[in-house]
Amino acid sequence: MKLRIALLASLALAGCDKPDEAPVAAETTEAENVIVAPTEAKLDTTLPGADGEQAYAELLALEANDGTIIADSTKGAGLCFFTDEGGRALLTVGAPKIEDKPGAGVVRPNGQPATALFAQSAGTDYLVNGPTLERKPVDGAIAMSVAIVLADDKSSATLTLKTPGSERDSYQGTWSCPA
């Protein structure tokens, strides 16, 4: 038994004795390929205005854990999603823990960490039926608002992002509430 362990150990060490090679770095061309924590900024340099002061006027696709930033004020993200025509989830909202309180949503502005926005009215129904959410300019945060407007037949929706000093074309997509 000791001989087998010694043999396996020597084989394992022999595999480590390779000549020095240059380390292989994972290269990405777009910010979409890099996963970051909700509190970390992410900059996609391929988007318009990414090199300017107003890079945040473009939204990036949400990361898997971005919804955690509204966990304290909601029942959790995922009540509803806005997905653009390219299939990217740009906004998710969570129902309020107490029904007569406003819910909250999450977006990821370009070059910024995930950002919490709060509904202008209380209740889950408000969120499901095309909400407006906003963030006040507190503690150096950029003020912004997001409005969802549903088509009459609710088959499509428009997301409009407004920030001080900039306004971009609206995003076209769908507003779905699977919960």
Cβ–Cβ contacts within 10 Å for residue 32, how many? 13
The pLDDT, as a whole number, for residue 65 is 92
The pLDDT, as a whole number, for residue 30 is 47
* Residue extents of the structural domains in the chain: 24-176
Taking the C-alpha atoms of residue 168 and residue 29, their distance in angstroms, rounded to an integer, is 24
Contacts of the segment 153-160: beta carbons below 8 A, 24+ positions apart:
157/82, 157/130, 159/59, 159/82, 159/84, 159/90, 159/91
At 111-143, the pLDDT tens digits run 888 999 999 999 999 999 999 999 998 777 788
Determine which of 9-23, 63-77, 88-102, 114-128 has the lowest per-residue pLDDT on average. 9-23
Mean pLDDT across 34-45: 80
